Amino acid sequence: MSLKLKAMTGLKKKLLLPDMSTTTTRNINNEIVEAFHQSKFDVAKEYRNKALAFFEKTGLPAVKQEEYRFTPIAKSLEKNFDWSVIQSKSAIESIEEFLIPNLDANILVFVNGKYSESHSTIISPESEVKIKTLNAAFKTDSEVFAPYFDKILNPESDPFAAMNSALWQDGLLIHVPANTHVSKPIFILHLNDAGNSQVISQTKILGILEKGSQLSVIEKFDSRGTHSVFHNFSEEWIVKEKSHLEYCKVQNDAGKSYQVANTIIHQSDNSLLNTFTLTLNGELVRNNLNIIIDGENCESHFYGLYLLNGNTLGDNHTVVDHKKPNSFSNEMYKGIMDGNSKGVFNGKIFVRPHAQKTNAFQSNRNILVSDSATVNTKPQLEIWADDVKCSHGCTSGQLDEEALFYLRSRGIAEPIAKAMLLYAFASEVLTPIKNETLKSYLDNLIAERLQKNF
Amino acid sequence: MSKGNQVLEEITSKEYEHGWNVNLEADEAPMGLNEGTVRFISAKKGEPEWLLEWRLKAFRLWEKMKEPTWPNVSYPAIDYQNIIYYSAPKKKATLNSLDEVDPELVKTFEKLGISITEQKRLTGVAVDAVIDSVSVATTFKEKLGELGIIFCSFSEAVKEHPELIKKYLGSVVPMNDNYFAALNSAVFSDGSFCYIPKGVRCPMELSTYFRINAANTGQFERTLIVADEGSYVSYLEGCTAPMRDENQLHAAVVELYTMKDAEIKYSTVQNWYPGDKNGKGGIYNFVTKRGLCFGDHSKISWTQVETGSAITWKYPSCVLKGDYSVGEFYSVAVTNNYQQADTGTKMIHIGKNTRSRIVSKGISAGKSQNSYRGQVHVLKRASNARNHSQCDSLLMGDQCGAHTFPYIDVENNSARIEHEATTSKIGEDQIFYCLQRGIDEEAAVALIVNGYAKEVLNQLPMEFAVEAQKLLALTLEGSVG
Amino acid sequence: MLTIKNLHAKVGEKAILNGIDLKVNAGEVHAIMGPNGSGKSTLASVLAGREDFEVTNGEVDFLGKNLLELDPEDRAREGIFMAFQYPVEIPGVSTINFMKTALNQIREYRGQQALDAVSFLQLMKEKMKLVEINQSLLSRSLNEGFSGGEKKRNEIFQMAMLEPKLAILDETDSGLDIDALRIVANGVNKLRNKNNATIVVTHYQRLLDYIVPDYVHVLYNGKIVKSGSKELALELEAKGYDWIKKEVAVA
């Protein structure tokens, strides 16, 4: 292997060649492996080596692979990134503009893949929630996370998860003790500044909600600058018995950003989960959201909205895996595609043998606004238990002509009527969000986007 | 629950009705597959040089292809050298009239409930009977001939209508379309050919009955139906096979071609031997069926009732090329014991104002796995495309699985696509309601399942609907979980 | 106010209106009756500007403007209001927000200032009383999950809000029980004055007990075959439509 790698330094010029097919001499997988060998890691060496071994076996997914059929991410990475340069400096001084106004929350900030203590503010007492960087936690709290780390989110489940497990630079451990309600939400800002040069960020979060605890998390992804950003993000959330997690993700990257986010949430008996994912911007965004319902009487709502324009490719792959009886899941994802954008949705519902009395519902609805926007959707049900109620529905279309006529017949001009209907279509997914400050912030983001563009 | 299982047990232990085999003397190719086999088949059938070349080309492509692994089915590797690719009942070179058909054969079909002697014909149905690999009899030819309708075996069509075969063979399913289509293109032995001339409404149902009889043989038939402008035909296909312990391969190709304003309605009741209740034996049914709506305002409608086969792998599809063309797919797939079915459809919208409709009803019982796999693809220039898909699964018992894999790919913003899928079981309240009205549990299940599948069964021509209902009841009565 | 001359319309290849002539003046109430399929609802839809129908001949003048040239929203802004037979459900759009947008767009068209939130709410409260509708209904998504009566009441509420010059009530009585019918009719009557006009499209006479028409027209096969006073409606109620059909056949 090392022999091949030595030849690589001379290959950068070939980057400019139009033909980037796998037969070219450049091998991005080898470059990533080499980047691993060039990096110095303090902690988690065993985990990293194991993950790397797996990554070496599979490499990045080709488009031929079913799970990445519409998302040519390996090509994008090959074309836009130089893996021999990983660290890059940020020029950003104030993070004010990236925050959610008036949100009373703990603020945790990553800049270019590194946790920034100076930008972060923790207001909740340690008795409510323990927040540590992963690098630190590895030295002091290994007994807390060892049972879960790289186990719930198995690096072998996805090549990007494997890459992240091998190469993560920084991360957080968030630990909520039993029977504790964390009164203030945790707001995590992932900021990537490619004003000076390209940025490759690989970060990781492990969150544990012990029995009977409650937490609200808001993650926001922003990027700036004219150079390319690749953010490979992994997170695991363990939601134990009778716990309650509110999870919200906002992807609003203004820069030339490529992002893969692997989020896995593991639920035990009587737990409650609400997730909301909003995707607005970026060159390419791929979300893998996996919910494992490994307990009885769980409730899981996951909502998503992708409002895409320009050349953005927004790809949401979700899995809800019912492993135990008597639980409920409800998924609703909606998309509006404008410009040359491309929406991809794949939603899997698994109901394992013995997971009787499961109720699982899924809906995916899409509207194509422009002539060159596309959508590829694949809802998927796999059921091995008979006493269940499962359904999925998906649609692709335009606005309802009847509704449009009704509005116009009341004197509302066509473009405004359309914007109203689009907004109504989109905002339905905000219903489950309970934090009013967050809700009105998201509501404004959506309204602004739809008024501006339609 | 326990009562339900007991009834299920009883029903599933019912013997496969068509599981006898007949002692017919057969003329067979040597076992295995190589260029020689292809030449042997072609020579046996006295084929012209161009067709031999076509087959050889397909064979060479097949050799380079890999068996698909994406279907949600599993089975031990097939040894393609351990199959007999050609087996024909021995008989005189040509038949002058149906009276000369081997009496054993006539009996065979009578057992199937199909009469190939015209005196005892099924009312209003013309039949082409294919046993093992060869078409043995076609009824009502003359009557159809008066209207200019060609309905004959594939081999005969090669001789009598080479210009039509040359033009349309492989025009809908190219030889390299997939592994099994390539295999079929190399070794297909016979099948049916049908041509409906301009403006003719075929006055009767046309039908092919397929029967695999000989041991160790594969069946590789090909059906080609061409409906010229403004014509209409309804076509039925039925199939059975004897009970054998080993698995047998059936890899057929069906091509439909409709021109402007033409319509083909293609119905299948597939009842190949499914294997025994322990999953031993049964047919591997790997079939490529596709229709091309070539002309504007043309229509192709597939209806299938799939109850047989150990493994089913088939996706009757419509390529909607003509503007305003319509594709339909109605399917009931029932799996029991260890059966595995991966079936569905593709609707490819190319023309403007094209419409498609998919209704799929899956029923799984025993330890079976039943998958719906479908694609609705709206291409860029296909403005105003419409699709509605409904895919329902019914599970009976907690040992089986139901899977839905719909792919929806839309490249045109004027399309309206709706897909719905549900999974359910037969409600206890439904059963109770029936019981309370004096209907026993078996009948209640049959009633409810038939009701569940009604939307599809209603699409079948009369002659088939009754048979299909009986089949459903037979496979599933009492399978309440 | 409204003058319809020789109006022909078709949907697809099917001709539905075959030469309608009708004149409606301010302060009048016209009832249009007729058997099923006679073209009543089509007439209402054509006037409101539904695009499914193609006008093949004839003209419609509304307050000096060629109505057929206007977009549906401009017709509304000129003062035409249609109460739909089947009001559409629009998930996610509240009636309040919907009305505010409509009202202010109409005001803008007429060169009036947009209403601020306070005066809008005031106006809304006032009109709510008029049609006996409560606010919780209006906060919900437009017509979603409404009963038949609630939908119709919501239509009349909207009519009260927008103060049209010409209201077209399309089978407003269908699906209403007698109490709901009374409330809806009361609302309509309270809104009547000498400056506006109403066209009531209905199959049955019973609505006309509550909304008393000045003129009754019978539509059959896409033409007005008989016109008369409110007594004509009673005659129809007593004799049924066959009588009209026979008369037409003889003629």
Instruction: Specify the 3-state DSSP secondary structure of B76.
Output: coil
Q: Are residues A407 and A323 in the same domain?
A: no
* Tokens matching residue B156: 């005969």
Q: Are residues A44 and A186 in the same domain?
A: yes
Of the candidates A369, A382, A384, the beta carbon closest to that of B413 is on: A369
* Tokens matching residue C55: 């006008």
Confidence of residue A243 (pLDDT cuts 50, 70, 90): very high
pLDDT at A42 over 70: yes
Confidence of residue B11 (pLDDT cuts 50, 70, 90): very low
Instruction: Specify the 3-state DSSP secondary structure of A321.
Output: strand
Least confident interval from A223-232, A301-310, A315-324, C122-131: C122-131
pLDDT score, position B92 = 42
- Separation CA C211–CA C233 (nearest Å): 12
Q: What is the pTM of this model?
A: 0.81
Q: Are residues A240 and A304 in the same domain?
A: yes
* Tokens matching residue A92: 């950003």
Q: Are residues A224 and A309 in the same domain?
A: yes
- Judge contact between C7 and C46, C-beta under 8 A: yes
The radius of gyration computed from the CA coordinates of chain A, to the nearest angstrom, equals: 22
pLDDT score, position B7 = 38
Number of domains composing chain A: 2
Quote the minimal CA–CA distance from C51 to chain A in Å: 9
- DSSP single-letter state for residue C141: E
pLDDT score, position B103 = 63
- Separation CA A379–CA B419 (nearest Å): 9
The mean of the pLDDT values for chain B is: 81
Instruction: Specify the 3-state DSSP secondary structure of A234.
Output: strand
B421 to chain A, any CB pair closer than 8 A? The answer is yes
pLDDT score, position A24 = 45
- Separation CA C199–CA C80 (nearest Å): 11
* Residue matched to tokens 């060869």: B134
pLDDT score, position B408 = 93
Q: Which of C178, C185, C188, C92 is nearest to C143 (CA)?
A: C92
Query: For residue A296, what are the domain limits?
Result: 7-397
Q: Helix C148-162 to helix C95-109 angle, to the nearest 10 degrees?
A: 30
Q: Which of C125, C75, C129 is nearest to C96 (CA)?
A: C125
pLDDT at B390 over 80: yes
- Separation CA B433–CA B431 (nearest Å): 5
Q: Which of A397, A419, A441 is the last residue of a domain?
A: A397
Residue A2, in any domain of the structure: no
Residue A263, in any domain of the structure: yes
The mean of the pLDDT values for chain A is: 89
Instruction: Specify the 3-state DSSP secondary structure of A285.
Output: strand
Confidence of residue A347 (pLDDT cuts 50, 70, 90): very high
Q: Are residues A311 and A432 in the same domain?
A: no
Angle subtended at Cα B326 by Cα B324 and Cα B327, rounded to the nearest 5 degrees: 150
pLDDT at A22 over 60: no
Subunit contact A386:B398, Cβ cutoff 8 A: yes
pLDDT at A403 over 70: yes
Subunit contact A420:C93, Cβ cutoff 8 A: yes
Residue A325, in any domain of the structure: yes
* Tokens matching residue C20: 């309608």
Q: Is B170 exposed, middle or buried (0-12, 13-18, 19+ CB in 10 A)?
A: buried
Residue A301, in any domain of the structure: yes
The helix (H) or strand (E) run that includes residue B395 is strand B386-395
Q: Compare all CA atoms of chain C with the CA of A416 and give the residue at the minimum distance.
A: C101
Of chain A residues 316-375, which have a CB less than 8 A from chain B?
353-354, 356, 366, 368-371, 373-375
Subunit contact C162:A407, Cβ cutoff 8 A: no
pLDDT score, position B140 = 74
Angle subtended at Cα A343 by Cα A340 and Cα A346, rounded to the nearest 5 degrees: 160
* Tokens matching residue A302: 């996951």
Q: Are residues A276 and A135 in the same domain?
A: yes
DSSP letter string, B120-159: GPPTTEEEEEEETTEEEEE-SHHHHHHTT-EEEEHHHHHH
Question: Of A20 and C74, which is predicted with more confidence?
Answer: C74
Q: Are residues A169 and A222 in the same domain?
A: yes
Q: Are residues A414 and A268 in the same domain?
A: no
Residue A160, in any domain of the structure: yes
Q: Are residues A368 and A417 in the same domain?
A: no
Subunit contact C93:A409, Cβ cutoff 8 A: no
C25-66 confidence digits (pLDDT tens): 999 999 999 888 889 999 999 998 888 889 999 999 999 999
Question: Per this entry, what is the length of chain C?
Answer: 251
Confidence of residue B118 (pLDDT cuts 50, 70, 90): very low
Residue A288, in any domain of the structure: yes
* Single-letter residue type at B337: N
* Tokens matching residue A251: 């992807």
B255-275 confidence digits (pLDDT tens): 999 999 999 999 988 888 788
Let me know if chains C and B touch, i.e. at least 3 Cβ pairs under 8 angstroms. Answer: no
- Separation CA B316–CA B329 (nearest Å): 8
- Separation CA B349–CA B355 (nearest Å): 8
B307-322 confidence digits (pLDDT tens): 888 889 999 999 999 9
Least confident interval from A398-402, B56-60, B147-151, B437-441: B437-441
**Chains A, C: CB contacts under 8 A, how many?**
71
Q: Are residues A77 and A111 in the same domain?
A: yes
Exposure on the CB side of residue B250, measured as CA atoms within 13 A = 33
Quote the minimal CA–CA distance from A402 to chain B in Å: 14
B409 to chain A, any CB pair closer than 8 A? The answer is yes
What's the average model confidence in pLDDT over A64-91? 84
Angle subtended at Cα B100 by Cα B97 and Cα B106, rounded to the nearest 5 degrees: 105
If one counts every other C-beta atom within 10 angstroms of the C-beta of residue B325, the result is: 32
Of the candidates A402, A409, A424, the beta carbon closest to that of C92 is on: A424
Least confident interval from B33-37, B206-210, B455-459, C170-174: B206-210
pLDDT score, position B337 = 85
Which residues of chain A have a Cβ shorter than 8 Å from any chain C Cβ? Answer: 400, 402-403, 405-414, 416-417, 420-421, 423-425, 427-428
Q: Which of B203, B174, B386 is nearest to B292 (CA)?
A: B174
B413-451 confidence digits (pLDDT tens): 999 999 998 887 876 666 666 666 666 677 667 777 877
Q: Compare all CA atoms of chain A with the CA of C105 and give the residue at the minimum distance.
A: A412
Q: What percent of chain A has pLDDT over 90?
A: 66
- DSSP single-letter state for residue C114: P
- Separation CA C122–CA B371 (nearest Å): 59
Break chain A down into helix, strand, coil percent, rounded to 5: 25, 40, 35
- Separation CA B363–CA B367 (nearest Å): 12
Question: Of B131 and A6, which is predicted with more confidence?
Answer: B131
pLDDT at B245 over 80: no
- DSSP single-letter state for residue A271: -
The helix (H) or strand (E) run that includes residue C134 is none
* Residue matched to tokens 């004959």: B152
Of the candidates C87, C101, C106, the beta carbon closest to that of A420 is on: C101
B362 to chain A, any CB pair closer than 8 A? The answer is no
**Which residue(s) pair with B403 in the sheet?**
A382, B371
> What residues of chain A lie within 8 A of the CB of B417, using their CB?
394-397
Low-confidence residues in chain C, pLDDT < 50: none
If one counts every other C-beta atom within 10 angstroms of the C-beta of residue C168, the result is: 25
- Judge contact between B258 and B223, C-beta under 8 A: no
Q: Are residues A149 and A205 in the same domain?
A: yes
- Separation CA A408–CA A431 (nearest Å): 27
- Separation CA A369–CA A338 (nearest Å): 5
Let me know if chains A and B touch, i.e. at least 3 Cβ pairs under 8 angstroms. Answer: yes
- Separation CA C187–CA C156 (nearest Å): 7
A394 to chain B, any CB pair closer than 8 A? The answer is yes
pLDDT at A10 over 50: no
> What residues of chain A lie within 8 A of the CB of C101, using their CB?
412, 416, 420
What's the average model confidence in pLDDT over B222-245? 85
pLDDT score, position B90 = 60
Q: Compare all CA atoms of chain B with the CA of A340 and give the residue at the minimum distance.
A: B411
The helix (H) or strand (E) run that includes residue B480 is none
Residue A372, in any domain of the structure: yes
Q: Which of A397, A414, A441 is the last residue of a domain?
A: A397
Residue A1, in any domain of the structure: no
A401 to chain B, any CB pair closer than 8 A? The answer is no
* Single-letter residue type at A346: N
Q: Are residues A388 and A409 in the same domain?
A: no
What's the average model confidence in pLDDT over B270-283? 81
- Separation CA A67–CA A69 (nearest Å): 6
pLDDT score, position A142 = 85
B341-376 confidence digits (pLDDT tens): 999 999 999 999 999 999 999 989 888 999 999 999
